[in-house]
Amino acid sequence: MKITLLGTGDAPGTPVIGCTCPTCMDAHSGGRSMRTRFSILIESEKGKVLVDTGPDLRTQLLGIGIRHIDGVIWTHTHYDHFAGFAEFHRVQYNVDVYGIKDTLDYILEYLHFMHPQRHEVNMYSPFFLIGLEFTLFEVMHPPAKKPVGVMIKEGNKKVVITGDTQRDICSRSLELIRDPDLLIADAIVPPTVEVKKHMNSEEALDLAKSIGAKRVVFTHLSHYFAPHEIASKELPLGFDGMKIDL
C-alpha cells in the first residue's frame, strides 16, 4: 500500500490568516511549514481511498493528478475533516462514503445537496475496500461525538491513523492498534503549548512507544512548531505531499 499525506495542518492551516510568526512566514515563502487541512490518501493496486476530506481537497487532488476516488472514510464531524467533500460536486457522482452512523448522519445532512453512497460501519468491525482491510476504533476527542481512528491491514503490514485524539485512548483500541509498522499520529503542538482535544508531540511519541510502533509520523500540525526544517530535525513531522510505501 502507498500512503500520501495530502494535508498535514490543523483546523486553521499554516500559514494562519494574518499571522507573521516564523513558521507562518516560512509557509508564505514556500517552505514545508505550508500545511493544508487534514486528508490522507491510501492507495493499493486496486484503487484509492481518502481518510477524511479537508477543506483544501480540490487543490490537493489537482496537485497529485487524481481522477477518481474509490471511497472516503470520515473519522469525525469536525469541519476541517469533511468540508472538502463538496469539492466532488459535479466532478464525481456516487462516491462511496464510510463511517459510523452518527458521523454519516451529521456530515450528510450538512452536505444535503449531494448524494454519495452511504456505508455505515461499526467500530471494531473490519471492512474491505480496494483490497485492504480497514477497522475503525474509538478515540477521545471531546466534544466530538464518537470520533474514530483508522487501522489498515494488507497481508502482514499494519498502519494506524489516530485521527484527532487525546492521549487517553481506551484499552480496547490500544490493544487493537498494537505493533503497527506505521503510526500516523495527531500531534498538534509542542509540549510548551497547552492543548485539550489533541495530543502534543510528547504524548504522540509516548503513544507510539507504548504500542510498539516501528515508525511514527506526526500530522495535524499547528504553527506553534518551529519552521519545518528546524522542528523536523528532532521530531518526525509529516509534510504535505509526503509519500510512504509499505
Q: Could you list the residues that contact Zn ion (CB under 5 A)? A: 16, 19, 21, 24, 78, 80, 164, 223
Q: Nearer to Zn ion by C-beta: 17 or 113?
A: 17
Select 1 or 165, whichever has its Cβ closest to Zn ion: 165
CB of 50 to Zn ion, least distance (A): 15
Nearer to Zn ion, 111 or 140 (CB): 140
Q: Which one, 19 or 174, has the nearer CB to Zn ion?
A: 19
At closest approach, how far in Å is the CB of 204 from Zn ion?
Answer: 14
State in angstroms the smallest separation of the CB of 223 from Zn ion. 3
Q: How far is the CB of 151 from Zn ion (least distance, A)?
A: 19
Measured from the CB atom, is 24 or 95 closer to Zn ion? 24
- Whose Cβ is closer to Zn ion: residue 21's or residue 174's? 21
Q: Cα(75)–Cα(146) distance, rounded to whole angstroms?
A: 9
Q: How far is the CB of 206 from Zn ion (least distance, A)?
A: 20
Q: Per residue, what are the HEC states of the chain?
A: CEEEEEECECCCCECCCCCCCHHHHHHHCCCCCCECCCEEEEEECCEEEEECCCCCHHHHHHHCCCCCCCEEECCCCCHHHHHHHHHHCCCCCCCEEEECHHHHHHHHHHCCCCCCEEEECCCCCCEEECCEEEEEEECCCCCCCCCEEEEEEECCEEEEECCCCCCCCCHHHHHHCCCCCEEEEECCECCCCCCCCCCEHHHHHHHHHHCCCCCEEEECECCCCCCHHHHCCCCCECCCCEEEEC
For residue 7, give the C-alpha cell: 494535508
Q: How far is the CB of 242 from Zn ion (least distance, A)?
A: 18
Angstrom distance (rounded) from CA 125 to CA 136 = 7
Beta carbon nearer to Zn ion, 78 or 158: 78
CB of 157: closest distance to Zn ion in angstroms? 26
* Surface-to-core class of residue 220, CB atoms within 10 Å of its CB (0-12 exposed, 13-18 middle, 19+ buried): buried
